C-alpha cells in the first residue's frame, strides 16, 4: 500500500472529466447555482481542452483556474474566465496549463443546465495518495503482528516437542 500510494499517482495518461449540472430546481428564490469541480494535478505546459454546452444562451459563466489544495484557494490568473454573451451557448477552449497542480472548474448557471468535459493528461490514481497515510499507520501494526507471531510460533514448537515425547512416557508408565 505504501508503494501504491507513493508511486501510482505519478503515472499519468490522457484522462477526461465529464459532467452535467447543476441538477437543482430553479425557482424565484434560486435563480442561479454554482458548481465546483476539482481536476487532478496537471503538469505545467500540458494541453487542456475544455468543452461546455449550455441549454440556454447567455446564462452561464465558466472559470478554470489553478487550485492550491493546501491553502484551499484559487491561484490567479485564471486559464479560462468566460461569461457567455446573449447569443452564446457553449465554448471550446484549448490552452496549456500555466502551472503544475490541480485545477478548479467553477461553473455558474443562471436558470440553465449544462454539460462539460475537461481533457488533459493526469493520473487516474491521484486519489490513491491517501493510501500512503493508511499504509504508514499499518506499519506499526504489522511489526507488532510479526513479533507476536514469532512468540506464538516458538510456543507452539516447544509444545509440539513436548507432545512428541509423551507417547514414550505413557508407554513406559503402562509397563510398570
pLDDT number for residue 41: 92
H helix or E strand, kind and range, residue 132:
helix 130-164
Averaged pLDDT score across all residues of the chain:
87
Q: Whole-model pTM?
A: 0.72
State pLDDT tens for residues 41-74: 999 999 999 999 999 999 999 999 999 988 999 9
Sign of CA dihedral 32, 95, 50, 66: negative
Angle between helices 130-164 and 166-175 (to 10 degrees): 20
Residue-level pLDDT at 125: 79
pLDDT tens digits for range 15-33: 999 999 898 888 888 889 9
CATH architecture of 9-123: Sandwich (2.60)
Does the pLDDT value for residue 142 go beyond 60? yes
Least Cα distance to 81 among 55, 113, 103, 112 occurs for: 103
Closest CA to 14 of 52, 42, 36, 38: 42
Say which residue the cell 428564490 belongs to.
29
- Comparing CA positions, the residue from 126, 96, 131 lying closest to residue 11 is 126
* pLDDT grade for 163, boundaries at 50, 70 and 90: confident
- Domain borders along the chain are 9-123, 130-175
Q: Contact at 8 Å (CB) between 111 and 61?
A: no
pLDDT over threshold 70, residue 170: no
Indicate whether 176 pLDDT > 60: no
What is the pLDDT, as a whole number, of residue 135? 67
Residue 6 pLDDT > 90: no
Amino acid at each position: 500500500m505504501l508503494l501504491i500510494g507513493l508511486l501510482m499517482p505519478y503515472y499519468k495518461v490522457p484522462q477526461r472529466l465529464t459532467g452535467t449540472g447543476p441538477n437543482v430546481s430553479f425557482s424565484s428564490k434560486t435563480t442561479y447555482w454554482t458548481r465546483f469541480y476539482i481536476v487532478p494535478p496537471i503538469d505545467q505546459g500540458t494541453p487542456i481542452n475544455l468543452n461546455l454546452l449550455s441549454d440556454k444562451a447567455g446564462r452561464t459563466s465558466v472559470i478554470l483556474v489553478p487550485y492550491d489544495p493546501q491553502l484551499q484557494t484559487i491561484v490567479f490568473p485564471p486559464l479560462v474566465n468566460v461569461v457567455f454573451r446573449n447569443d452564446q451557448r457553449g465554448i471550446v477552449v484549448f490552452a496549456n496549463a500555466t502551472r503544475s497542480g490541480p485545477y478548479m472548474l467553477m461553473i455558474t448557471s443562471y436558470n440553465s443546465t449544462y454539460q462539460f468535459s475537461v481533457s488533459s493528461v493526469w493520473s487516474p490514481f491521484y486519489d490513491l495518495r491517501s493510501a500512503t497515510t493508511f499504509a504508514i499507520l499499518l506499519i506499526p501494526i504489522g511489526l507488532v503482528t510479526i513479533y507476536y507471531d514469532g512468540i506464538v510460533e516458538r510456543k507452539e514448537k516447544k509444545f509440539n516437542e513436548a507432545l512428541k515425547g509423551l507417547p514414550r512416557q505413557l508407554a513406559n508408565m503402562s509397563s510398570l
